[in-house]
Structures are given as structure tokens and as C-alpha cells.
Amino acid sequence: MKIIKSFFSLYNKSLEKTIRTKRLLLRLRRLSSNRIYLSKGEFKHTNNSVLINIYIFNRQKYNYLSKLKNIYLKNFLTKKNININIIKTLKSIYIKGLDSLREVNKDKYLLIKAINIVEKNKKYKINTFKSLSNYTIYFYKNLLNLTMKKLRLYFLYKQLIYLNKSKLNYTYLRLLKKHLENLYNKNVEFNLINLNRFYLNSDILFESVKLKLTRNKRKMRKILNKIKDKIKINEKNLSLESTTQVENQLNQINDAKLLKNIIFNNLKYRHVSGFRLEARGRLSRRYTASRSVFKLKYKGNLLNLDSSYKRLSSVVLKGNLKSNIQYTKINSKTRIGSFGIKGWVSGN
């Protein structure tokens, strides 16, 4: 699993140097949230092959897209025109600048007279066209430099987004596949599942909490409260009529698209019904932590709706595992000491 994580954490040093003003240290890079989050791999072995199931949340792509929107689209976007093109906006700036320069060249005589009337008492006067033409050329050069800088940054971010997407393509994954096939002496198959929300998998959720606490342990309460607010819990549907209605619809409908939508909307454990987080260890604000701190955050509940509310039969797994709950246990350390995180996420 370390090999797979190291592959998805690769970056282009030359591109990031041009974008960043300060060099990012390796220690801070390991703790940054600008990455592709991976869950623990589910390895299914057969005689000839290995199937690897991994859940992915691509936070890096969302960060690059948000930077592009904040830099270039902040002054031009409206609620109606959200899907505006960046190159069109830069062209509009360029055209407006040229129009203003043309108007200045038309009214040179009036400008020279007005400036000389205002500045009669001063020594400096504009008697020739050279000073005004130099000013217009200087303004024109600055306009070109600004537009070129913005275009260059835009294409650099586009390259970073392309590199991020290429990690999930088969052309680059086959290099990782060859390396793993040499280790296992079997055929390797990947099943990568992209998640739209980071809290849909417990490993990804509590990995992000761990990184934030190691980076900013002084803001522990704020971090835990923000994560509690971000997690959206679905309302309970306790009616038994919904299951019977779905069965009747499946028997009556013959359209393939409608059947897919009905089946997808009624899949189990699609939505989060609750979570519970326990953080324990050296998490105090002082640099000398004499005792450990314990914090608890929860939202919703961890009960199974089918067995506890609807009184229906539910799937039973081996050991202490439950079909509706994901459990993670991770630890980390700071300069004061170590701390651990336990977490549960339930679905319905």
C-alpha cells in the first residue's frame, strides 16, 4: 500500500517552483491537505490475479480549480454566466485596453492643453508629443505584461490539473501495475472508486483530521467543529412502504434507464447516517504536555436502520464487523508526543 500511496503523491518540481513564491519544505508537504486521499486497499487474491479496490478523493484537483476561479473569474462571473471561458475574459481586457489607447491618441491636443493649464505654476510642462506618446507606450507594455502573466499562470495550472488526472489513466497506472506484478507474481487489476465527498469513507475522513491536528494542534476545537459541520447526514426513512414500492416498480418498468436510476437511488449505505470521532493523546496547547487530552465529537447515530428500526433482516459479517459501519484507528505524533484517533462512520 505504501508503493501505491507514493505513486499518487508524485509531483512536478519545476511546475510548482514557477507557481510558488516560497519553497515548500518536505515536512510540510507530507502534512499538506493538497493531495489525493486514498483509503486502505482491499486486496482479493486468486490463483492468477490480485484485485485491488481503493476509494479515492481527489482534493488536489478541487484546489487547483478553485485557485483558477478565484484568480481569474472573481471579477467577471455573475450568477447567470457561471460557465464563462477564461481566455474570452482575458481577450476582453486586451480589447478594452486597446480601445482606451485609441481614444487617448485621438484626443492628444486636448490632453496637452488641459495638463498645461493645470500645471502652469510648475516647472514641468508637456510641450511636445514625445512625453505623451511615451506614457501611452509604457501603459501598453504594462497591459501586455499583465495579460501574458495571467495567461502563463492559467496554462501552468492547466498543466498541473492534467498531471493530476494522468495519475488515474491506464497509460501511467501500467507502470505501477508492472512493479506490483513483480512483487506478487500475479496479474494485478485496479478498481479505483472516485468519491465526491471526503466523509463517505472513514479512512479518508480521519486521515484528513490527523493531518490537520498534526499541523495545527492549537486549533483542535475549531478543526473538529468544522468537520462536524461539513458532514451532511441524511434523514431517516423508516417507512416499510418504500421497499415494497421499489419491488413493484422494478416488476412493472421495462425501460433500462429508469431501472438504472431506481436501482442506483435505492442502493444501501449510499448516505451517511452518523459518525463518531474520538481523539486522545498529547493534544494540549502547551509545549510541555503533562497529561493526555480526550475529545469526542459525534453526529447522528451508528444504528442499522433495517435491524433496529424497521425490524428487517440485515447482513451479518465475521467477527465484530458490521455491514453499515466503517471503523478506522490511526495515530500520529507532534513535538510534544503522540496521539491517536478512533472513528466510526455509519450509512443507510
Q: pLDDT tens, 59-98?
A: 998 888 888 877 666 544 444 444 455 556 656 666 766 6
CA distance 340 to 281: 6
Q: What is the pLDDT of residue 10?
A: 85
Average pLDDT score, the chain: 79
* Single pTM value for the model: 0.74
Segments in the chain forming alpha helices (H): 2-8, 13-19, 26-31, 59-72, 86-106, 108-118, 129-166, 170-184, 202-215, 220-230, 241-252, 256-265
pLDDT greater than 90 at residue 329: yes
**236-283: per-residue pLDDT in tens?**
776 665 666 666 666 677 677 777 777 777 777 888 889 999 999 888
Sheet containing strand 293-300, strands side by side: 293-300, 272-281, 338-347, 325-333
pLDDT greater than 80 at residue 128: no
Q: Which CATH architecture has domain 197-238+268-348?
A: 2-Layer Sandwich (3.30)
Beta strands in 231-315 (DSSP E): 272-281, 293-300
For 23, 97, 161, 255, 274, the CA distances from 71, given in Å and listed in that order, are: 21, 20, 16, 46, 37
Q: What are the extents of the domains in the chain?
A: 1-193, 197-238+268-348
Nearest by Cα to 208 from 232, 227, 228: 227
CA distance 16 to 25: 12
Which carries the bigger pLDDT value, residue 199 or residue 322? 199
Q: What is the pLDDT of residue 340?
A: 92
Q: What is the pLDDT of residue 153?
A: 83
- Three-state DSSP state, 221: helix
pLDDT greater than 80 at residue 229: yes
State the sign of the Cα–Cα–Cα–Cα dihedral 10, 15, 17, 21: negative
CA distance 328 to 37: 15
C-alpha cell at 314: 440485515
Mean pLDDT of 220-230: 89
